[in-house]
Structure 1
Amino acid sequence: MHTHSAHRRAAALLVATLCSSPLVAQETRAGAATPPSGRGSLGVHLQVTEPKAEFAANTNNGFGIGGYVMRALDGHRLLNLRGDVSLVSYANSRRRLPLAGTGGLIQLDLRTSSNIVSVVAGPQLLGPTGPFMPYATALGGFSVFWTESAVEGSQNTNTPFASTTNATDAVWAYGGAVGSYILVHTGTNPVRLDLGARFLRHDDVRYLTADRVRQAFDNNRPVNPVRGRADFITYYLGVNVIAF
């Protein structure tokens, strides 16, 4: 009796082991196919900037777009190299002017815009694997601040016939970013929401403000740029696609 009972238990254990082995292998393969991040991914996002310190005393919030490329540096794909580029406009104005010699019959639009392009790169460390994945990034590179004025006909929007760069300066930029990826689509190329904030510091830069532009226009004199430190936080929301 005891021998037959032992044989039945051994047979049951063998069947259970054979049935569970394919499931374990399948789970292992599935886990390997969905790493925390692919070897490379692309991202694009909308941005809102918040000026800080003395830059906040001279400018308002900016709005723009940005994009980045990310490449894994280790086998676990938690340490990555990230390169960012962004364009932000922090001041815009429009003034209606009569064309001289036309008795006011021809009206022109004088448009002035102040912008910042930033190109930065650095290591990005991803957090635990899952549908919600935090990250932190250290960044360094450069930014270009410039202000441009253009004249166009009042009915010829975005087709200027004359333009001038009023001020421009390129400076080193450094800082970091924190954020999180939220998985919204699985498959061959998973898609994640990308929500985060980035801080960039610029120690010594020449830039124009809306007030300096207005003063130059009202007094018919050359513009006088502000010079000093320009720091700002960029809040962004976009998507990240694992490309390969």
Structure 2
Amino acid sequence: MQSKAVLVLSTAFIFASVSVVDAQVSPYGDQVPSRFSFGADLTISQPKGEFASNVPNGYGFDLTGMFRLDPQGYFNLRADLGGVRYGHERQRIGFPISGRIAVDLNTDNQIGFGALGAQLQIPDGWFRPYANASIAATYFWTESSISGADNSESVLSTTNLDDWSHAWIFGGGVMIPFGRSTGALNLGARYHYGATATYLKEGDITDNPDGTINLNPRNSKTDLVLWQLGVSFAIPRSTGH
């Protein structure tokens, strides 16, 4: 009976020792993820409510930076910087001095945003869901520019209309890690509860024969869903071994 007890205790000790060693071995080799991470997403904006009756879907990007407040990464500070373009017009026009030169008149309708908030996340496993909330400053602007007909850089530009606003943002998604690397695939969506703003859409600028223009500005709440697909990487740090 005593020898059986010794055998059981010895076996338990061996398994415990192996578990401790395994826990101390980093799957990332000599480097482990630091508290800082960054991400980049391609985005599709889907307007909601009154905003949806005024503008179409847009396409853009979102850059993300995060800082883990706890060592495991359940609680994070999150910052975002991004933008979408929801309208574009191009007209081929003759150069005012000579019709021998053709130029393109481009008009873009865009939204930019910068946000700061928090994110809760499951930091481990092959399927890492998260939820977040932020407050954002939003900037709506329409810009017209002249460029060469061969798609060269813009030589002249002007802002036809712009306006600042804000939005409360609530979102969620999932991170799927790339094997044992510090990178992960990001699939997510964020709802922007946008405040009222003044903006233009395609066709809201009319050119008059005398060279002047008429604007038809819109004013409404600016709710939208931002669908995101991208990657995220934790900045590695050395384990010191």
Q: TM range, normalised to the smaller chain?
A: 0.7 to 0.9
Extract unaligned runs of 5+ from structure 1: 1-5
Percent sequence identity over matched residues?
Answer: 30
Q: Deviations over 1:157-179 (max 9, x none)?
A: 24222111001111112121110
Of 204, 207, 218, which residue of structure 2 is paired with 1:217?
A: 207
TM-score (norm 1): 0.86
**Are residues 1:239 and 2:231 paired?**
yes
Match of 2:180 in 1: 186
Amino acid in structure 2 at the alignment position of 1:88: V
For 1:71-150, list aligned pairs within 5 A. Answer: 71-102=67-98, 104-127=99-122, 129-150=124-145
TM-score (norm 2): 0.87
Structure with the larger helix share: 1
Match of 1:229 in 2: 221
The answer on whether the counterparts of 2:208 and 2:214 sit within 8 Å (CA) in structure 1 is no
Structure with the larger strand share: 2
Match of 2:157 in 1: 163
Amino acid in structure 2 at the alignment position of 1:185: G
The answer on whether the counterparts of 1:140 and 1:173 sit within 8 Å (CA) in structure 2 is yes
For 1:1-80, list aligned pairs within 5 A. Answer: 6=1, 8-30=3-25, 39-80=35-76
The answer on whether the counterparts of 2:118 and 2:132 sit within 8 Å (CA) in structure 1 is yes
Task: Out of 12-21 and 56-65, give the one that drifted further.
Answer: 12-21
Q: CA separation in 2, counterparts of 1:18 and 1:228?
A: 68
Q: CA deviation at 1:108?
A: 1.5
Amino acid in structure 1 at the alignment position of 2:94: P
> What SS is found at the alignment partner of 2:11?
helix
Q: Deviations over 1:79-119 (max 9, x none)?
A: 111001112111011001112342x3221110001111110
Amino acid in structure 2 at the alignment position of 1:163: S
Q: CA separation in 2, counterparts of 1:14 and 1:110?
A: 82
User: How large is the RMSD of aligned CA atoms in angstroms?
Assistant: 2.3
Extract unaligned runs of 5+ from structure 2: 237-241
The answer on whether the counterparts of 1:38 and 1:77 sit within 8 Å (CA) in structure 2 is no
The answer on whether the counterparts of 1:98 and 1:107 sit within 8 Å (CA) in structure 2 is yes
When the two structures are aligned, how many residues end up with a matched partner?
231
> What SS is found at the alignment partner of 2:51?
helix
Computing the radius of gyration from Cα coordinates, the structure with the larger value is: 1
Q: Which runs of 4+ in 1 moved over 3 A?
A: 30-34
Q: CA separation in 1, counterparts of 2:224 and 2:10?
A: 64
